[in-house]
């Protein structure tokens, strides 16, 4: 992926995250729940910035227990990687797996097909 495409992918992911947060602000909390998607979006944005997130970073938007439960599901499906911090064993780091990266890139490609001028 060239730099221009990588920048657009990051902007797209960040836009989707902002729209999801705006939706919650307008409709209120508790009406929409899609924690797996929220986790994947946050990990995708972090990956595009060259960062990893720990469970607590993601749990700022979703309850920690929900993130932990969905992280297990996403890891079982091969979409994310979870690894304990070697220094602070209570810290769990999350990142997209290569399969997760590929699938999120596929979603972003579909977004470009649906909205090519965006």
How many domains are there within the chain? Answer: 1
- What is the rounded CA–CA span in Å between residue 96 and residue 1? 16
Per-residue pLDDT, 55: 87
The yes-or-no verdict on residue 96 having pLDDT over 80 is yes
What domain range includes position 81? 3-114
Longest dimension (CA), the chain: 46
Q: Band of the pLDDT at 118, cuts 50, 70, 90?
A: low
Which CATH number does the domain housing residue 54 bear? Answer: 1.10.10.10
The mean pLDDT of 15-31, rounded to a whole number, is 84
Q: Band of the pLDDT at 9, cuts 50, 70, 90?
A: confident
Helix (H, G, I), strand (E, B) or coil at 27: helix
Per-residue pLDDT, 46: 93
Q: Which two tokens stand for residue 28?
A: 């209120």
* Residue whose C-alpha is closest to residue 95's, from 87, 86, 104: 104
The yes-or-no verdict on residue 39 having pLDDT over 60 is yes
Q: Quick check: 94 and 52 in contact, CB under 8 A?
A: yes
Interval 45-92: pLDDT, tens: 999 888 989 888 886 667 888 888 999 999 999 999 999 888 887 888
Q: Which two tokens stand for residue 84?
A: 């304990």
């Amino acid at each position: 992926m060239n730099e221009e495409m990588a920048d657009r992918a990051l902007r797209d992911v960040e836009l989707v995250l902002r729209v999801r947060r705006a939706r919650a602000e307008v409709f209120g909390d508790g009406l929409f729940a899609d924690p797996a998607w929220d986790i994947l979006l946050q990990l995708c944005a972090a990956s595009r910035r060259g960062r990893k997130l720990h469970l607590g970073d993601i749990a700022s938007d979703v309850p920690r227990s929900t993130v932990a439960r969905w992280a297990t599901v996403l890891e079982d499906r091969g979409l994310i990687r979870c690894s304990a911090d070697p220094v602070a064993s209570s810290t769990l780091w999350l990142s997209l797996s290569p399969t997760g990266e590929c699938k999120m890139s596929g979603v972003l490609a579909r977004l470009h097909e649906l909205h090519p001028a965006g």
